[in-house]
Amino acid sequence: MIEQTLTSKWFFLFLGLLVGSFLNVIIYRLPRNIDWIFKRSHCPHCQALIPIYCNVPLISFILIRGCCLQCKNKISLRYPLVEFITGVAFFLLSPEYFQSTSHPVIQSLLALSIVSILISHFFIDLEHFLLLDRLNMILLGLIAVEFLFFSHQSITWHVVGGLTGFLVPFLISWIYLKLKNRIGLGGGDIKILGILGLSLGAQKIMETLFLSSTLGILFGLPYLLWNQNKKSLLARPIPFGPAIILTYALQKYTSLNMGNFFGF
């Protein structure tokens, strides 16, 4: 009975909201090099300590109407959004999703650890144009455990996927640099494509590369136009990481075969 409750998707939804609250701390502090374990949360505007009772995921944000209790400045919508997305991801990828596998609980926890890193990457890249190496190292470790212990494919299949994911964008970026004398694709993007290639295999990582470039351009251009003045538009970077992460999640966890959809 207890085991059933602890592995139900509703329990995982609750767990996901709590994890989302923790990811908010990581997303804010990691790129700013702030201690993320021992330091209590502060309002980013007035530095007032955030009371413990204001740390309840989603509910606190609604109760305080998205404003700091001290200075009344608006608190970013990112906070409830990260909690919501993490909650939904935990609900969808609870052990029930992995029921047909040999170790549903372990595989679910592994997948959710990977997704948590990807959610952090997504929002950090959106704000800072950075895919942090520290997160990439953890991601690499988790994906290695996943394919070494729980994959039906051979190790060679995964390694070829990783090499394709790394070398193809590296080559494109190198050619672009030679031709234009400018960096086209960031180092972080190339590294994450290599790591995700280990998980997806060669064909799907190529599809991911193509689809995420399309997505990046589709969403990136209006984002740039809206965010800053229009001077030297093409010289400004587009955060490509979110598009890669979104495409990876769809390729990996939905039955929607995006490759077929685009006629690969």
- Contact segment (CB under 5 A) with Zn ion among 25-33, 63-71, 75-83, 166-174 equals 63-71
Q: Which is nearer to Zn ion, 43 or 145 (CB)?
A: 43
**If DSSP codes are grouped into helix, strand and coil, which group holds residue 263?**
coil
As a whole number of angstroms, the distance between CA 196 and CA 202 comes to 10
Sign of CA dihedral 207, 211, 216, 221: positive
- Contact segment (CB under 5 A) with Zn ion among 41-49, 77-85, 107-115, 118-126 equals 41-49
Using CB atoms within 10 Å of the CB of residue 154, give its burial: 0 to 12 exposed, 13 to 18 middle, 19+ buried. Answer: exposed
Identify the residue among 32, 70, 154, 236 touching Zn ion (CB under 5 A).
70
**Residue of 101, 79, 83 whose CA lies nearest to 91:** 83
- Contact segment (CB under 5 A) with Zn ion among 46-54, 56-64, 100-108, 125-133 equals 46-54
Query: Should residue 75 be labelled a site residue for Zn ion when binding is judged by CB under 5 A?
Result: no
Burial 37-66 (b: 16+ CB within 10 A, else e): eeeebebeeeeeebeeebeebbebbeeeee
Q: Taking phi first (over 0 means left), then psi (-120 to 50 degrees means alpha), and beta for anything else, what does residue 84 get? A: alpha
Integer CA distances (angstroms), 91 to 13, 69, 94, 189, in order? 5, 31, 5, 28
Q: Which is nearer to Zn ion, 48 or 63 (CB)?
A: 48
| Bridge partner residues of 11 (DSSP) | none
Identify the residue among 34, 49, 62, 71 touching Zn ion (CB under 5 A).
71
Identify the residue among 9, 42, 45, 252 touching Zn ion (CB under 5 A).
45
CB of 51 to Zn ion, least distance (A): 12
Identify the residue among 19, 26, 27, 68 touching Zn ion (CB under 5 A).
68
Q: Which is nearer to Zn ion, 66 or 104 (CB)?
A: 66
CA 155 to mean position of chain CA atoms = 25
CB of 70 to Zn ion, least distance (A): 5
- Contact segment (CB under 5 A) with Zn ion among 28-36, 60-68, 102-110, 255-263 equals 60-68
Q: Which is nearer to Zn ion, 70 or 99 (CB)?
A: 70
Q: Which is nearer to Zn ion, 70 or 257 (CB)?
A: 70
Query: Should residue 203 be labelled a site residue for Zn ion when binding is judged by CB under 5 A?
Result: no
Query: Should residue 46 be labelled a site residue for Zn ion when binding is judged by CB under 5 A?
Result: yes
Asked if 83 contacts 57 with a C-beta cutoff of 8 angstroms, the reply is: yes
Polymer length of the chain: 264
- Chain residues binding Zn ion by CB under 5 A are 43, 45-46, 48, 68, 70-71
